[in-house]
Amino acid sequence: MSQTPLRVLIAEDSPTVRHHLVSVMNAAPGLCVVGEARDGEEALALVGELKPDVVSMDIRMPRIDGLEATRRIMNQYPTPVVVVSGLVDQDIDLSFQALQAGALAVVEKPLDRSDPDYATKERHLVNTLMAMAQVRVIRRWETRGAAVEVHAVPSATPAPAPVARVTELVAIGASAGGPSALSVLLKALPAEYHAPIVVAQHMPEEFTIGLARWLDKATPLRVELAEDNLLLRPGHVYIAPGSAHLTIVRRHGKLATRLISERGTFRYQPSVDMLFESAAQACGQSSVGVVLTGMGDDGAAGLLSMRQAGALTFAQDEASCTVFGMPGAAIARGAVANVLGLSNLATTLAGLN
């Protein structure tokens, strides 16, 4: 007996694009389009009426744009939202604001069938919708113009006391829900933070530049897309590009980036495991590893390598995660020394030497 298809609501103001997306999703096994909205106001009404499993959300729409629609959906009818964006600068900025407001992921619109990557983009859209449709989301309340997540159960694990050691590197891995969590975490760190921070965030190549730009505006730290052979600097955050694995090496006593374009056998590129394993080898006990919200188990093996090398290791707790897959897998693997809520995690990282 076949499983019931996941029900999708499409919010898209262009009739042509909307028709195309409907045909793509209805052709995908396991998906069924149950409603079409021409703007954010219609999307909000249809979410309440149809109760879809997931919303495919355009950003630039009349009356209410996708950012405001996402904020209101998460406030009134908590439902997984996937931002489906054209690669326009304004779209990218608004897309990351929508992630902060509660959307789970951002993917590119697969429009041009002559694009050699069209099939890959179409498959990524379908897979993302199917994955996010199965994520349990919670209500977000608006406070002072921003979306704030309210947890019924606060973290029971207190922040540990700062450890008397020199931290050379902070390595962070994240997937679904990561951009919003990264924003919260990095905002709490001072501009003159004593260590460089390297991040592997599962995200299509087309959006990693936008992620770096958005975080650079939203946090006091200097955020940039990692390039090959960069010397790491304190107070800087280096985001792995979507087209390569980010690893860390030591050259003449200094830490530097090394990008590996070959995907290898890793399911994700960039791979959190590869980043963490390289941090364990290059820095050992002078490194800190952090697994944030995300689906799957990427990072669990790498974080265990870091812990075995003497590094401090942390995982975001379930109550503050959008998806507890990656942190839960790392905890089960024995890779995590401290499980903290996002705010405690930020305070702890800020207090490290």
* Catalytic position from the list 56, 155, 175, 286: 175
Helices and strands (H, E) in the chain, number of each type = 11, 16
Q: Is 202 among the residues known to form the active site? A: yes
SS3 65: coil
Q: How far apart are CA 243 and CA 270, in angstroms?
A: 7
- The C-alpha torsion from 191 through 170 and 234 to 228, rounded to 10°, is -120
Helix (H, G, I), strand (E, B) or coil at 291: strand
Separation CA 327–CA 312 (nearest Å): 15
Give the Cα separation of 219 and 181 in Å (integer): 12
Question: Active-site residue among 53, 91, 298, 317?
Answer: 298
The catalytically annotated residue of 53, 65, 202, 320 is: 202
Q: Could you please report the per-residue DSSP string of 217-242?
A: HHSSSEEEE--TTPBP-TTEEEEPPT
Say how far apart CA 137 and CA 231 lie, in whole Å. 39
Classify burial at 8, counting beta carbons within 10 Å of its beta carbon; exposed 0-12, middle 13-18, buried 19 or more: buried
CA distances from 295 to 126, 268, 316, 321, 335 (A): 16, 11, 13, 10, 17
Can you read off the two tokens belonging to residue 325?
A: 């897959």
Are 182 and 294 in contact by the 8 Å Cβ rule? The answer is no
The question of whether 298 is a catalytic residue gets the answer yes
Residue 175 a catalytic site member: yes
**Residue with the two structure tokens 């099939």:** 119
DSSP conformational letter for 286: G
> Under 8 Å CB-to-CB from 351, ≥6 apart: which residues?
162
Structural Rg of the chain based on CA atoms? 20
- The β-bridge partners of 108 are 85
The one-letter amino acid code at 2 reads S
Check if the beta carbon of residue 152 is closer than 8 Å to that of residue 318.
Answer: no
Catalytic residues: 175, 202, 298
